[in-house]
Chains A and B, each alone.
Chain A
Amino acid sequence: MKCVTVAGPPSSGKTSILLKAAAVLAGRGQRLGVVKFDCLASRDREAFAAAGVPAVVGLSGALCPDHFYVCNAADAFAWGARQGLSILAVESAGLCNRCAPHIEGVLAVCVVDSLSGVDTPAKIGPMLRLADVVAVTKGDVVSQAEREVFAFRVRRVNPRATVLFVSGLTGQGADALAHVIAAAPETPTLDGATLRFTMPAAVCSYCLGQRRVGADHQMGNVRKMDFSEVAP
């Protein structure tokens, strides 16, 4: 089975472009399935089901969504193998923009929305920087010039990546996306695989359910900002 991690900010169009790519791949006799990691209930499962794409949605609820993802990645892979998928897409929204679900040896796709502003590529972090493919969405409603400037800024942040324009609405670009997904390396297992980037450190009192604000209620891995006055 081939495996691909698909990461991008919330509402960037990850699910839509996966659905379009799945349709192209199905036409070539390849079965794509999706494990989606999310933090709150979403209706994406129905969207996948309606399109005949096997899918599981995992909700992290009160846990850090990215740690939740890593803890379940190998199980997700085993599920995909049991389903007899040709390709498993593991979708996650790197919610703090510092996280990246990308794994060594597994095709890494980052999805960015061209409506999100020209400085976004520089702000997204490892999720984009360490990706093999960057899919730029919603390009069908912005000017050609803005698309080009956006793509250039993506390349400056990650010059290694293949940059594709994919529309989750019209399916434009889905052929190219399906092509790179189908060309992903075979992944024998995720057991023992290595993340391309560390997850953010955690374990402070708030991780354990603390709700009170203020120094008296903080324990563990706590870092303080510098609020010292700058001399005028």
Chain B
Amino acid sequence: MTGSSREMARPFKELWRELGASRDFFAVQGLPAPAPEATPEAYFAALGEAVLIEAGCSREELAARFGKFLAALGRIDAAPPVVASMTVRGGADKRGRPETLDITLVPGDVVALVGPTGSGKSRFLADVEWLADADTPTGRRVLLDGAPADAARRLSLSGRLVAQLSQNMHFVMDMAVGPFLCAHAESRLLADPDRAAAEVTALANELAGEPFDAATPLTALSGGQSRALMIADVARLCASPVVLVDEIENAGIDRRRAIALLTGSGKIVLVATHDPLLALLASRRLVFSGGAVAHTLETSPAERRALAELAALDAVLTRAREDLRLGRTVAAHKETH
């Protein structure tokens, strides 16, 4: 209690210097903005009756609430969760048969998730996100750094452990690329948001076929540009140690570079895909069936050779698409194998 009363006797300008977001309290509560030289003690004592009626509580309650707000702000954890390894131990399939699965993933690993709709891929992801501890329908256990997470860690990691890149996702904010990336960098409390934003824009441009800049509105980006921006943003600005990629559409995005960008940023990458170019980039793939992982396959040398052939085929298609986009006639590119 002495700690909070000390805060109450310090001028607002000092509090704001240490906890910038403490200013938000007054705007959000609809209270008049305090003078920088005033102390919270003096400010709350001087609040008028009309303001108190609007706020719906007494001076003492408001002051106590501000104290709690300051304390909670100090606890907001902007530091990225660090995960050296993630282990998933099998549970049971929909019919109760045991699942033979014991996989450990470290930063830089890429694993493909394959199997028809309803085979259990989404449930697998849900288990990873919630750090299942034999308490979900599958009975799986997910360990971080070899140990199960306690309830507090599970809740604090909820929504922060796994970042997602899905075909169903769109940018919906009415902002331009630059200011939006700055807002994202600020939410990570990064020291130089402008530089981070410029870096992400440059990276996204390397991935996308068509260039865009910081002034382009988010909602004006093409499908390929949006996806490229989402990938670059997750790689550079997102703190989550695990990334789930749910397909990457073939919209002029260099998929190999996209995955390399994510692994290069120290992410554990899970790719739910039936695109051979993506799936074979993974060193292992989990084959889902009946709600559980039926096999774990290593990408074989023969598959790696197949990947090279498929990539050449993809290059032919990409050239033809580019011809069409630029208004040229599609040339017959003769490939010799």
Interfacial chain A residues near B186, Cβ < 8 Å: 152
A145:B126 contact, CB within 8 angstroms: no
- What 1/0 flags go to B176-212 for Cβ under 8 Å of A? 0000110110111000000000000000000000000
Given contacts A143-B170, A173-B129, A175-B126, 8 further A-B contacts (CB under 8 A): A159-B73, A159-B75, A160-B68, A163-B158, A173-B159, A175-B136, A176-B154, A179-B130
* A135-161 interface bits toward B, Cβ cutoff 8 Å, 1 = contact, 0 = none: 010001111111111011101110110
Q: Does A180 contact B (CB under 8 A)?
A: yes
Which residues of A are found within 8 Å of B184, using beta-carbon distances?
145, 148-149
Can you report 28 A-B residue pairs in the complex whose CB atoms are below 8 A from each other?
A27-B137, A117-B173, A117-B174, A118-B175, A118-B183, A141-B168, A142-B172, A143-B233, A144-B169, A145-B230, A149-B183, A151-B159, A151-B187, A156-B24, A159-B69, A159-B76, A160-B69, A162-B158, A173-B129, A173-B130, A173-B159, A175-B126, A175-B130, A176-B130, A176-B155, A179-B151, A179-B155, A198-B56
Say which one of A80-88, A164-172, A203-211 lies at the interface with B: A164-172
In the complex, whether B271 has a CB less than 8 A from a CB of chain A is: no
Report which of A141, A142, A145, A171 forms a contact with B238, defined as CB distance below 8 A.
A145
The answer to the question of B248 belonging to the interface, with a C-beta cut-off of 8 Å to chain A, is: no
Asked whether B165 is an interface residue with its Cβ less than 8 Å from the other chain, the reply is yes
Q: Which residue of B lies closest to A159 (CB)?
A: B72
Nearest Cβ distance between residue A136 and chain B, in whole angstroms? 8
Q: Size range of the interface on B?
A: 35 or more
Which chain A residue has the least Cβ–Cβ distance from B56? A198
Known: A117-B173, A159-B75. A122 touches B155 (CB 8 A): no
Count of chain A residues with a beta carbon within 8 Å of a chain B beta carbon: 41
Neighbouring A residues of B226 by C-beta, 8 Å: 143
Residues of chain A within 8 A of B168, CB atoms compared: 140-141
Q: Are A145 and B24 in contact (CB under 8 A)?
A: no
Given the interface pairs A159-B75, A171-B126, A172-B126, the reply to whether A143 lies near B151 with Cβ below 8 Å is no
Q: A68 within 8 Å of B by Cβ?
A: no
Chain A interface residues toward B at CB < 8 A: 27, 115, 117-118, 122, 126, 129, 136, 140-149, 151-153, 155-157, 159-160, 162-165, 170-173, 175-176, 179-180, 183, 197-198
B272 within 8 A of A: no
B29 at the interface (CB under 8 A from A): yes
Chain A residues closer than 8 Å to B233, beta-carbon distance: 143-145
B171 touches A143 (CB 8 A): yes
* B166 within 8 Å of A (CB atoms): yes
In the complex, chain A residues whose CB is within 8 Å of the CB of B57: 197-198
Residues of B within 8 A of A115 (CB): 172
Contacts of B253 in A (CB 8 A): none
User: In the assembly, what is the distance between CA of A160 and CA of B76, in Å?
Assistant: 9
B150 to chain A, nearest CB (A): 12
B21 cross-chain contacts in A, Cβ below 8 A: 156, 159
In the complex, what distance in Å separates the CA atom of A171 from the CA atom of B172? Answer: 21
Provide the residues of chain B in CB contact with A129, threshold 8 Å: 28-29
Q: Which residues on B sit within 8 Å (CB–CB) of A147?
A: 159
Q: Is B234 an interface residue (CB 8 A)?
A: yes
Q: Mark B263-287, 1 if CB is under 8 A from A, else 0.
A: 0000000000000000000000000
Which residues of B sit under 8 angstroms from A163, Cβ to Cβ? 158-159
Whole-angstrom distance between the Cβ of B175 and the nearest chain A Cβ: 8
Q: Say how far B334's CB is from chain A's closest CB, in angstroms.
A: 41
**B258 sits at the interface (CB 8 A):** no
Q: Is B302 an interface residue (CB 8 A)?
A: no
Q: A27-B137, A159-B76 are in contact. Are A143 and B230 (CB under 8 A)?
A: yes
Chain A residues within 8 Å of B170, by CB: 141-143
A28 CB to closest chain B CB, in angstroms? 8
**Are A122 and B180 within 8 A (Cβ)?**
no
B222 at the binding interface (Cβ < 8 Å): no
Q: Across the two chains, which residue of chain B brings its CB closest to A118?
A: B173
B261 surroundings in chain A (CB, below 8 A) = none
Option from A126, A142, A160, A179 in Cβ contact (under 8 Å) with B72:
A160
Contact A162 B155 (CB under 8 A): yes
CB-defined contacts of A151 to chain B, threshold 8 Å? 159, 187
Shortest Cβ gap from B61 to chain A (Å): 10
A179 nearest CB across to chain B (Å): 7
Chain A proximity of B301: nearest CB distance (Å):
34
B213 → chain A closest CB, angstroms: 17
B69, B158, B170, B237, most chain A CB atoms within 10 A: B158
A142: nearest chain-B partner, CB-CB: B172
Which residue of chain B has the shortest Cβ distance to A144 in the bound complex? B163
Partner of A144, one of B27, B165, B172: B165
B216 at the interface (CB under 8 A from A): no
Bound-state CA distance A53–B73 (Å) is: 38
- Given A143-B233, A144-B233; A122-B154 close (CB under 8 Å): no
Residue of A nearest to B155 (CB): A162
With the chains together, A197 CA to B62 CA distance in Å?
12
Q: Which residue of B lies closest to A157 (CB)?
A: B28
Q: How far is the CA of A218 from the CA of B122 in the complex (A)?
A: 57
Give the residue name and chain of the A residue nearest to B244 (CB). A144
